[in-house]
Amino acid sequence: MIPPLLTEEVMPTYVYRCGDCEQTIEAMQRFSDRPLRKHKECGGSLTKVVQAAGVVFKGSGYYSTDSRTPDTASDS
Ligand SMILES: [Zn+2]
């Protein structure tokens, strides 16, 4: 039996940063898709943010490399 996960196409999430408004956006793209160039909201130019592996896979654990540390297990 093949686990359902392997039968689905993996959709990697790329992270882009807008050089204009400095907003960080995530875009789900296939490997064959062309990279985004333009920020839809402001028209600024996007730069791909390279993560640890270049790609962030949703669902395979939450990443928190560049973001603020979330609440560290606080048992109050
Ligand atoms: Zn922008």
Which CATH number belongs to the domain containing residue 12 in this structure? Answer: 2.20.28
Asked, for residue 60, whether it belongs to a domain, the answer is no
In a domain, 20, yes or no: yes
Asked whether residue 45 is assigned to any structural domain, the reply reads yes
> Residue 43 and residue 73: Cα distance in Å, rounded?
39
- Full-model pTM: 0.54
Residues 6+ apart with CB under 8 A from 11: 28, 29, 30
Q: How far does the centroid of ligand 1 lie from the alpha carbon of residue 22, in Å?
A: 6
Neighbours of ion ligand 1 (CB under 5 A): 18, 20-21, 39, 42, 44
> Which residue range forms the structural domain that includes residue 44?
4-49
Taking CA atoms, 29 is separated from 12, 32, 36, 69, in Å, by 6, 8, 9, 27
Q: What's the structural domain count of the chain?
A: 1
Q: How far apart are CA 36 and CA 43, in angstroms?
A: 11
Amino acid present at 11: M
Share of the chain above pLDDT 90, in %: 33
Does residue 19 surpass a pLDDT of 70? yes
Token representation of residue 29: 């793209």
Distance 51 CA to ligand 1 centre (A): 20
- The average pLDDT across 18-45 equals 92
